[in-house]
Structures are given as structure tokens and as C-alpha cells.
Amino acid sequence: MNLCIDEARLSRELEILGAISESPPPVTTRVLFTEADLRGREFVKQLCRDAGLTTREDAVGNTFARWLGKDPDLPAVGTGSHIDAIPNAGRYDGTVGVLGGLEAIRALARGNFRPRRSIELVIFTSEEPTRFGIGCLGSRLLSGLLEASAAEHLKDRSGTSLDQARLQAGFAGPLSGVRLRDGYYSAFVELHIEQGPILEARQIEIGVVTAIAAPASLRIWIEGEGGHAGAVLMPDRHDAFLAAAEIALGVESAARSTGAMDTVGTVGVCDVFPGAVNSIPNRVRIEADVRDIDQARRDDVLRKIAETCDQVATRRGVQIRIEPLNADPPAQCAPAVVDVLIQACDACGFRYMRMISRAYHDSLFISRIAPTAMLFIPCRSGFSHRPDEYASPEAIGQGTLVLAEALASLAGAA
Ligand code: HGY
Ligand code: MN
Ligand code: MN
């Protein structure tokens, strides 16, 4: 097909969405159900309505914008990603898949393509774990990987429950109604920045994702003994922060110990109580993120972290409690959908490479209920989850063009 992507419009929309943030530009922060998140949702929904799509939202805020096909009763072809952003983030993570997906649909309509199967754009709620500690909240509920009963107990750091937060944001109805029926999508494709340096380094336009790494995250609580920083002698201390510091170093050494480059471990959250320079920390909460494409190797790292916690607890005379947040299996992308993406790359004349995704995405969970694959585009130096995250209008346009070709192929012509 002779499709044309409106790169200038797509870039403008990404800029506008990027500036809908709790932080001043160039930083984007858009945490679940904050005022910025709700404004961002409204902005994208209006663009979908302007494009003639019918929109709906479910009880947790997953948003669907459907281009009705000639055979509306057939399972639709899905595409989409997320628009929530962690603190101090960039403006392309997730949004390229949402606004690129919308532009792919608009380009098909401008090219007088009419789909046989409906094509549905999805904005997944809370892909980032920032507010409730677990990532992909919306797609976990859609795929049934997270039961509504378990989700209802989630609370954020202020003690607000997911139910309270979503109702305040205007999303009512039972969470049990979020789960999609089997066969709801005939196929799903997510466009996303690579969040790594490989495509740019090899000067390849498109990454065709064949597998998504297995993420796990832990919350670790350390209870020590507080006291006066001047009066308590060193041998008498049970400093919760120093115990946490040893555990954080243990996360790093456990990840390195597998010898595999695919194993990664990070401690990205550390709350110290009472947080006064002259008071010995008596309570610390840290959160660890452990991933690998090999689930058994990842689980080995989790076991090593637990052993480290036991040793530190004994040696330092502190109490340590591990609260597992998630430990998901990796996803294999559907070969049939991967083939369609490769054919679309060939049709557009772009170089591509098969690759795994070290970041997780909503496709990790949608792949449980529909044949799924992902398209990556290069981002500058592989930077992501930081304000200097950047993907060029040309790269975004190329990814969007391949996506449009793939959606047309998967939906069939009316
Ligand atoms: O952490 C991730 O992999 C995703 O960006 N939330
Ligand atoms: Mn992210
Ligand atoms: Mn993302």
C-alpha cells in the first residue's frame, strides 16, 4: 500500500502529550490517576474521537478506541501501549505506541483502506509500577493474570487503595468486569522505543521482538533499632539503613553471579525512617527489580537475595521481611505475528532484526490471551526512563509505517 505517515503531526502530538506532566519540560512525570495522567488521557481520547474512533474505558481506566471493521463481530486486531510515565522520565516510552498506533490508523484511513476486522487502539492503565508497586496493572487485569480480588487490596504509599484512587479518577464498576473474553483479539502488536542501544548502534530501523524478559520485583522491609547518632556507640547499633545497603549490594552481586548478560538487578526505591541526619535509621523499605530472559536463572537470583537477607539479619541483629510483588514468566511472541511484522518491514524496505525485550511491556500479559508481537524503533544511545530519552521523528515515522502495514495485513481488507 502507498501509505503516508504524517510525521510532523505525530511529533507535535508527542510534544504536547510530553508536556502534560507533573514536572516542567523536558521532564515528563505522569503517574497513575494524577491530574496530569487524567489530562493526558483526555488529550489522547479527543484525538481518537477526532479520528472517528469510538472510545470506551473499563473500571480500571484501560481505554479502547475502535475503528469498526466491515465484519464488526469478528475478533479485532489490537495495538497500543501506555501513557503513564515514572518520575523524571522522558516523553517517548509508551506514548510512541499509543500516538503511533493512532497515526497508523489515520494513515490507513487516509489511504482509503477499510478493515475487515475492527482495529482497536488501547491505552493500558498503569504500565509503570510507580503508584501501586506492580507494573502492567491494566493488562494484568485484562488478561486475568491478576484477579480483581487481589487488585482490590493494592495500596499506594499514602495508604490510598486502588479502588479509592480509580473511583476518585472517575472509573467505576467492578474490577471483575475488566477481564477480556477469550479470543477478544485475533492478534496484538505493540510499537515501542527499544529502551536499549542495539538498533541505533547497528543502524537498523526496526526491531522485531520475539520474546519479552521475565520481570520480578520485591519489597524488603528492614526493622533495626533507632537512637541518637552521637550517643549510641558503634558496637551497640542495629542500623536498618546499613543492613539495607548490604542487601542492595547483594542484589547486584546475585545478578552478576549468573555470568549471563541477560540477568539484571536493581534497587530503585529506598525509604529511610526517621530520615534525620542525627538519628540512626530504625526502619528502611527498599524495592528490588530482578529480570532475566531465563526464568530459572532469575528465580536463582531471587533465592540468593533471600539468603543474603537471612545472613544480614543474623549478623546485624535486625528483622527483615521480604514482600514479593511480582514474579512473571517471560513471554514468547507469536511466530505468525512476527512473520507479519517481518513482511511489513520488507514491504516498507526497512532493515530489521529479531531481538528480545529486556524491558517488560503490556504485551507481556496480552500475549497470554492473544497472538502478540512487538515492534521496536531505535532511541538515542538507548537512553530511557530519563528526560533525555529521544526518538527521531523519522524513526517514529518508520515504526508507525510498519505498524500500519502490519495492522492492515492482520485485519484484512473489507
Ligand atoms: O520497567 C519496565 O520495563 C517498563 O518500562 N515499565
Ligand atoms: Mn517504562
Ligand atoms: Mn514502556
pLDDT digits (tens, 9 = 90+) for 197-244: 999 999 999 999 999 999 999 999 999 999 999 999 999 999 999 999
State the cell numbers at 353: 532484526
Q: How confident is the model at residue 2 (pLDDT cuts 50, 70, 90)?
A: confident
- CA 390 to CA 200: how far, in whole Å? 12
Residue recorded with cell 472509573: 171
Report which ligand 1 atom has the smallest distance to the Cα of 135.
6
Rounded CA gap, 178 and 59, in Å?
6
Q: With 90 as the cut, is the pLDDT of residue 182 above it?
A: no
Pocket around ligand 1 at a 6 A CB cut-off: 127-128, 135, 359-360
Ligand 1 atom 5: the closest Cα is on which residue? Answer: 359
7-213+330-411: CATH topology is Aminopeptidase (3.40.630)
Pairing, β 372-377 against β 185-193: parallel
138 Cα–ligand 3 center, Å: 13
Ligand 1 mutation pick, 140, 269, 360, 365, max ligand atoms within 8 A of CB: 360
Kindly list the distances between the CA atom of residue 272 and the CA atoms of 232, 314, 411, in Å, as whole numbers in the listed order: 18, 20, 52
Using a pLDDT cut of 70, give the percent of the chain over it.
Answer: 100
Phi, psi dihedral angles at 133 (to 5 degrees): 80, -5
Task: Name the residues around ion ligand 3, CB cutoff 5 A.
Answer: 93-94
Q: Which CATH architecture has domain 215-327?
A: 2-Layer Sandwich (3.30)
**In Å, how far are 55, 103, 376 from 343, measured between CA atoms?**
30, 20, 15
CB 40, CB 46: distance < 8 Å: no
Nearest ligand to the CA of 290 is 1
pLDDT at position 1: 80
Task: State which ligand 1 atom lies nearest to the alpha carbon of 94.
Answer: 5
Percent of the chain at pLDDT exceeding 90: 99
pLDDT at 255: 98
**CB 120, CB 79: distance < 8 Å:** yes
Cell of 68: 469498526
SS3 57: strand
DSSP conformation class of 181: P
Closest ligand to 89 CA?
2
| Segment 274-286 mean pLDDT | 98
**Grid cell for residue 288:** 528490588
Nearest-angstrom CA–CA distance, 367 and 67: 22
Q: Hey, is 259 helix, strand or coil?
A: coil
pLDDT at residue 122 in the model: 98
- Every domain of the chain with CATH number 3.40.630.10 lies at 7-213+330-411
Q: Using one digit for the tens of pLDDT, what is the confidence trace for 314-345? A: 999 999 999 999 999 999 999 999 999 999 99
Of the candidates 255, 205, 215, the residue with the CA atom closest to the CA atom of residue 402: 205
Q: How many Å lie between the centroid of ligand 2 and the Cα of residue 94? A: 7
DSSP 122-170: EEES--S-TTTS-S-HHHHHHHTSS-HHHHTT-B-TTS-BHHHHHHHTT
Instruction: Tell me what pLDDT residue 325 has.
Output: 95
Tell me which of 31, 81, 82, 128 to substitute to probe ligand 1's pocket, judged by most ligand atoms within 8 Å of the beta carbon: 128
- Across 225-304, the runs of DSSP E, i.e. the strands, are 227-228, 264-273, 279-280, 283-292
3-state secondary structure of 105: helix
Q: What is the pLDDT of residue 293?
A: 94
What is the pTM for the complete model shown? 0.95
CB atoms within 10 A of CB 123: 30
Q: Which of 329, 21, 269 is nearest to 131 (CA)?
A: 269
Q: DSSP 3-state assignment of 64?
A: strand
For residues 88-99, give the mean pLDDT.
Answer: 98
Separation of alpha carbons 112 and 105, rounded Å:
11
For the cut 90, the answer to whether the pLDDT of residue 40 exceeds it is yes
Give 136's contacts (C-beta < 8 A, 6+ positions apart).
124, 126, 127, 360, 361, 362, 364, 365
pLDDT of 251 higher than 90: yes
Which residue out of 328, 362, 385 has the highest number of ligand 1 atoms within 8 Å of its CB and is therefore the one to mutate? 385
Confidence check: pLDDT of 371 > 90: yes
The string of pLDDT tens digits covering residues 284-318 is: 999 999 999 999 999 999 999 999 999 999 999 99
Q: Decide if pLDDT at 165 tops 90.
A: yes
CATH 3.30.70.360 domain residues, the chain: 215-327
Q: Pick the closest to residue 218 from 319, 306, 126 (CA basis).
A: 306
Can you tell me the mean pLDDT for 55-62? 98
Angle formed by the axes of helices 95-110 and 7-19, to 10°? 150
Closest by CA to 252, choosing from 268, 241, 272, 238, is 268
Distance 128 CA to ligand 1 centre (A): 6
For the segment 381-404, what is each residue's pLDDT rounded down to a tens digit?
Answer: 999 999 999 999 999 999 999 999
Atom of ligand 1 nearest to the CA of 136: 6
- 359 CA to middle of ligand 1, Å? 5
For atom 3 of ligand 1, which residue has the closest CA?
Answer: 359
Give the separation between CA 62 and CA 60, rounded to whole angstroms.
Answer: 6
pLDDT tier at 52, thresholds 50, 70, 90 = very high
Can you name the residues that pair with 119 across neighbouring β-strands? 67, 77
What mean pLDDT do residues 24-30 have?
Answer: 95
**pLDDT band, residue 26 (cuts 50/70/90):** very high
Give distance in angstroms: CA of 225 to centre of ligand 2. Answer: 36
Please name which of 64, 63, 59 lies closest in space to residue 170, comparing C-alpha atoms: 59
Q: Give the ligand whose atoms come closest to the C-alpha of residue 96.
A: 3
Does position 34 have pLDDT exceeding 90, yes or no?
yes
pLDDT for 158 equals 95
Distances (CA, A) of 2 to 110, 111, 281: 10, 7, 64
pLDDT digits (tens, 9 = 90+) for 136-157: 999 999 999 999 999 998 999 9
Tell me what the mean pLDDT of segment 246-257 comes to: 98
**Mean residue pLDDT across the chain:** 97
Tell me the CA–centroid distance for residue 72 and ligand 2, in Å.
33
Ligand 2 centroid vs 91 CA: distance in angstroms? 10
Residues 174-186 have a mean pLDDT of: 96
